[in-house]
């Protein structure tokens, strides 16, 4: 069973259904982790998630996410996603 991990969060199983999609890859998982972070910080919601770097085997990737506050202010955060079996 493949899982996606990010420090500080519960892991996500590949194929899990979330409100917006089925989690099939690290980008989908990064969107969920960014949403969890926005909720945890009470800042509103995640606007965008973009990949910044990845390993040759695709098992480790780093994403940049913009977290938007209700006031319109935003914060860029970095999420490292690891794919494990």
| Digit-coded pLDDT (tens) for 63-83 | 999 988 777 788 899 999 999
Domain that holds residue 77: 3-84
> Quick one: pLDDT band at residue 43, thresholds 50, 70, 90?
low
Task: Provide mean pLDDT across the span 25-42.
Answer: 89
> Quick one: pLDDT band at residue 18, thresholds 50, 70, 90?
confident
What is residue 80's predicted lDDT score, i.e. its pLDDT?
A: 97
**Structural domain count, the chain:** 1
Q: Which two tokens stand for residue 24?
A: 């099939």
Q: CB neighbours (10 Å) of residue 2?
A: 14
pLDDT above 90 (res 39): no
Integer CA distances (angstroms), 31 to 5, 22, in order: 12, 11
């Amino acid at each position: 069973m493949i899982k996606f991990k990010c420090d500080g969060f519960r892991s996500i199983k590949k194929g899990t259904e979330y409100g917006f999609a089925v989690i099939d890859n690290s980008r989908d998982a990064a969107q969920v982790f960014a949403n969890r972070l926005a909720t945890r910080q009470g800042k509103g919601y995640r606007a965008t998630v973009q990949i910044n770097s990845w390993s040759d085997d695709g098992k480790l990737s780093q994403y940049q996410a913009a977290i938007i506050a209700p006031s319109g202010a935003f914060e860029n955060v970095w999420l490292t996603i690891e794919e494990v079996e």
